[in-house]
């Protein structure tokens, strides 16, 4: 009994902290996150309101955590159980040097310390005692040094190693891991000291599939050492500003490359020619690179190319944009902040595989919109900060798969919104524009599938909130135009699925509004800043047990009042303002 190991191993994915608690390092790298915003928003939607009964396993794990000082070793347990105890201790931040000793020789497979405070060389001995069982270790954000990495030589089967944000690792550290030939995933984000010299230690890692070197400023000249890593499928060298055309040459033979990210590097059209033969390339991120549309010539034969990011490319203009029409396989295209006009849309009209198109801040207007009418697979369309207006919207009315539409800061008016009323697949709609009013909202009541509605700066008043009742599935709502009173907030109180609510800058709201909100027990994030809410209103928030983020700036509420609420009633509250 107890020997059966049926626990699914969570694969160490990328640099993001997946510990289940709020990461202390909020990775705001816009570039490598662009895929996450290409489609409809997720993540906050999954939290369930009701507390289900804890399993006996969980109760035992919590009990062990409570009594952890009574144990000296857990090596008698089957490893999937000690693994769960370990994970729980990390999650609850109860792990220390001495408690870690319990896990010596436990034959654990996955040690995810991810940014755990206090993780340093002292821990490496216990880590290495897992020996050939250890498959993945995440030491990101730790104080482990080069000599600490020496211990990993005992872990010959190590497949995934995460050393992101490890400021104390240098080229010498890379030497220590050069023999770990079973490594498939290696992450070294934001390391300011490793150089081409260190990269030479990677040339023997013949099984490497995924390599993440985002924000390493000194690795130029080092990519030559990767040219033998023929199994490499994913390479991230975003924000390595040192990377230039000469480095790209060494990637030309990596025929298994599926994902390549070189955002904000110095690579030009010439450097992209080296990618011509990468027939498996599916994702290419060139955000912020000094390329022009001419580089697309090199990509026209890449039949597997699905995701292309050319946003913030300052040299990308209407010049030679006809080359876009050759990219027939594209599903996701990002041209945000590029100096392109309606002309580009004529070359996109036959890219019928497109599911996501980002034209944020492009010089697009109603004239070009007719070219989008044939893109029937389009799910996500970003038109923020363009000159698109109401007449352009009629070309979208046939896009039956459209789930996410951003019309913030466009010229769209109330009258134009009628044209969206047939888009029953819409889940996320951004209408943050001053000229939108209650009248526009009234036209949208048929969109009952909406889960995210952003009316931030729109002039919505209490009468407009009546229309919100139709959106029974609404999870996220923002109305910050200043036109709401407590009466309007009453219309929100039955939107039971709400997880994110922002009513800031509605100066007339009082504690009565908090009373209306008190039944929205699924709320994870709440913002009622710049209102007349006071500390006496905080009691209405006690039932909101799922609340993780609360913002009440510029209200008659003090940081200590919120802290009181946090400690007595809202244990999940992590982000608070004022602090």
Partner 1 sequence: MKEDMVKLISAEGFEFVIDKKAAMVSQTIRNMLTSPGSFAETEHGEVTFPEISTTILEKICQYFYWSLQYASGKETEFHIEPELTLELMMAANYLHT
**Which positions touch partner 1 (CB under 8 A)?**
1-2, 4, 52-53, 55-57, 59-61, 63-64, 67, 70, 76-78, 80-81
Measured from the CB of residue 2, what is the shortest distance to partner 1 in angstroms?
A: 4
Q: How far apart are CA 418 and CA 446, in angstroms?
A: 10
For partner 1, the closer of residues 66 and 553 by Cβ is 66
Q: How far apart are CA 95 and CA 113, in angstroms?
A: 10
For partner 1, the closer of residues 105 and 319 by Cβ is 105
Of 174, 150, 160, 59, the residue nearest 111 (C-alpha): 160
Measured from the CB of residue 7, what is the shortest distance to partner 1 in angstroms?
A: 9
- Judge whether 317 and 294 are in contact, CB under 8 Å: no
Measured from the CB of residue 63, what is the shortest distance to partner 1 in angstroms?
A: 5
Q: How far apart are CA 147 and CA 222, in angstroms?
A: 23
Measured from the CB of residue 70, what is the shortest distance to partner 1 in angstroms?
A: 7
| 181 three-state secondary structure | coil
Q: How far apart are CA 128 and CA 153, in angstroms?
A: 8
Measured from the CB of residue 19, what is the shortest distance to partner 1 in angstroms?
A: 22
Measured from the CB of residue 71, what is the shortest distance to partner 1 in angstroms?
A: 8
For partner 1, the closer of residues 43 and 50 by Cβ is 50
Cα 459 to chain centroid distance, Å, stands at: 30
For partner 1, the closer of residues 85 and 509 by Cβ is 85
Q: How far is CA 336 from CA 287, 357, 385, 453, in A?
A: 9, 9, 10, 22
For partner 1, the closer of residues 4 and 46 by Cβ is 4
Give 223-244 as a DSSP string. GGGGTT-TT--EEE-TT-TT--
For partner 1, the closer of residues 69 and 352 by Cβ is 69
Residues whose CB is less than 8 angstroms from the CB of residue 448 and which lie 6 or more positions away in sequence, other chains included: 424, 470, 471, 472, 473
For partner 1, the closer of residues 59 and 496 by Cβ is 59
| 174 three-state secondary structure | helix
Measured from the CB of residue 48, what is the shortest distance to partner 1 in angstroms?
A: 15
Measured from the CB of residue 484, what is the shortest distance to partner 1 in angstroms?
A: 36
For partner 1, the closer of residues 54 and 303 by Cβ is 54
Measured from the CB of residue 138, what is the shortest distance to partner 1 in angstroms?
A: 25
Q: How far is CA 509 from CA 483, 486, 528, 531, in A?
A: 10, 5, 8, 5
Q: How far apart are CA 132 and CA 146, in angstroms?
A: 21
Give 467-532 as a DSSP string. GGGG-TT--EEE--SS---HHHHHTTTT-TT--EEE-TT-TT--HHHHHHHTT-TT-SEEE--SSS
For partner 1, the closer of residues 1 and 42 by Cβ is 1
Measured from the CB of residue 524, what is the shortest distance to partner 1 in angstroms?
A: 22
- Count of alpha carbons within 13 Å of 312, Cβ hemisphere only? 12
For partner 1, the closer of residues 42 and 53 by Cβ is 53
Q: How far apart are CA 307 and CA 295, in angstroms?
A: 15
Of 432, 439, 433, the residue nearest 418 (C-alpha): 439
For partner 1, the closer of residues 45 and 569 by Cβ is 569
Q: How far apart are CA 24 and CA 18, in angstroms?
A: 12
Q: How far apart are CA 117 and CA 14, in angstroms?
A: 20
For partner 1, the closer of residues 1 and 46 by Cβ is 1
- Count of alpha carbons within 13 Å of 116, Cβ hemisphere only? 29
For partner 1, the closer of residues 2 and 20 by Cβ is 2
Measured from the CB of residue 98, what is the shortest distance to partner 1 in angstroms?
A: 18
Q: How far apart are CA 328 and CA 503, in angstroms?
A: 43
Measured from the CB of residue 543, what is the shortest distance to partner 1 in angstroms?
A: 15
Measured from the CB of residue 105, what is the shortest distance to partner 1 in angstroms?
A: 17
First to last CA, the chain: 50
For partner 1, the closer of residues 78 and 290 by Cβ is 78
Sign of CA dihedral 432, 437, 438, 444: negative
Measured from the CB of residue 115, what is the shortest distance to partner 1 in angstroms?
A: 28
Residues whose CB is less than 8 angstroms from the CB of residue 240 and which lie 6 or more positions away in sequence, other chains included: 213, 214, 215, 216, 217, 219, 220, 262, 265
Q: How far apart are CA 216 and CA 191, in angstroms?
A: 5
Beta bridge partners of 356: 332, 380
């Amino acid at each position: 009994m107890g020997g059966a190991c049926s626990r699914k191993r969570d694969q160490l994915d990328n640099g993001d902290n997946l510990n289940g608690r709020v990461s202390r390092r909020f990775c705001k790298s816009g570039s490598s996150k662009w895929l996450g915003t290409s489609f409809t928003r997720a993540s906050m939607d999954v939290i369930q309101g009701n507390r289900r009964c804890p399993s006996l396993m969980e109760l035992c794990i919590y009990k062990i955590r409570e009594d952890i000082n009574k144990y000296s070793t857990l090596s008698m347990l089957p490893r999937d159980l000690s693994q769960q105890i370990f994970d729980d201790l990390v999650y609850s931040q109860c792990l220390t040097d001495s408690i870690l000793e319990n896990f010596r020789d436990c034959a654990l497979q996955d040690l995810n310390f991810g940014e755990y405070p206090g993780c340093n060389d002292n821990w490496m001995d216990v880590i290495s005692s897992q020996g050939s069982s250890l498959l993945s270790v995440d030491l990101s954000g730790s104080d482990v040094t080069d000599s600490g990495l020496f211990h990993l030589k005992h872990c010959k089967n190590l497949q995934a190693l995460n050393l992101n944000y490890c400021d104390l690792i240098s080229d010498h550290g890379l030497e220590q891991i050069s023999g770990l030939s079973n490594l498939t995933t290696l992450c070294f984000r934001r390391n300011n000291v490793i150089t081409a010299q260190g990269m030479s230690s990677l040339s023997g890692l013949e099984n490497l599939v995924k390599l993440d070197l985002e924000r390493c400023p000194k690795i130029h000249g080092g990519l030559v050492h990767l040219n033998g890593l023929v199994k490499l499928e994913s390479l991230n060298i975003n924000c390595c500003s040192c990377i230039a055309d000469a480095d790209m040459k060494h990637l030309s033979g990596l025929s298994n490359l599926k994902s390549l990210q070189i955002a904000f590097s110095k690579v030009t059209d010439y450097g992209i020619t080296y990618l011509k033969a990468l027939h498996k390339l599916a994702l290419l991120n060139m955000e912020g690179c000094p390329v022009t549309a001419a580089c697309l010539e090199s990509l026209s034969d890449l039949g597997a190319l699905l995701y292309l990011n050319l946003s913030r490319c300052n040299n990308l203009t209407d010049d030679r944009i006809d080359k876009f029409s050759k990219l027939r396989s594209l599903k996701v295209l990002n041209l945000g902040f590029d100096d392109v006009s309606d002309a580009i849309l004529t070359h996109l009209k036959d890219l019928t595989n497109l599911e996501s198109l980002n034209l944020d801040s492009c010089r697009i207007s109603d004239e070009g919109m007719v070219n989008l009418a044939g893109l029937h697979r389009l799910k996500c369309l970003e038109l923020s900060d363009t000159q698109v207006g109401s007449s352009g919207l009629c070309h979208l009315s046939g896009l039956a798969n459209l789930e996410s539409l951003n019309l913030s800061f466009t010229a769209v008016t109330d009258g134009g919104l009628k044209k969206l009323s047939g888009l029953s697949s819409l889940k996320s709609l951004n209408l943050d524009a001053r000229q939108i009013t209650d009248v526009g909202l009234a036209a949208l009541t048929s969109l009952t599938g909406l889960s995210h509605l952003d009316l931030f700066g729109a002039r919505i008043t209490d009468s407009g909130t009546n229309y919100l009742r139709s959106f029974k599935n609404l999870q996220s709502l923002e109305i910050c135009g200043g036109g709401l009173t407590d009466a309007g907030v009453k219309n929100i109180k039955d939107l039971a699925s709400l997880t994110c609510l922002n009513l800031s800058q509605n100066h007339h709201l009082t504690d009565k509004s908090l009373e209306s909100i008190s039944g929205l027990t699924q709320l994870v994030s709440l913002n009622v800043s710049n209102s007349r809410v006071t500390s006496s209103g905080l009691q209405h928030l006690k039932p909101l047990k799922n609340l993780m983020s609360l913002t009440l700036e510029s209200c008659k509420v003090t940081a200590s009042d919120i802290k009181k609420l946090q400690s007595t009633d809202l244990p999940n509250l992590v982000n608070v303002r004022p602090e």
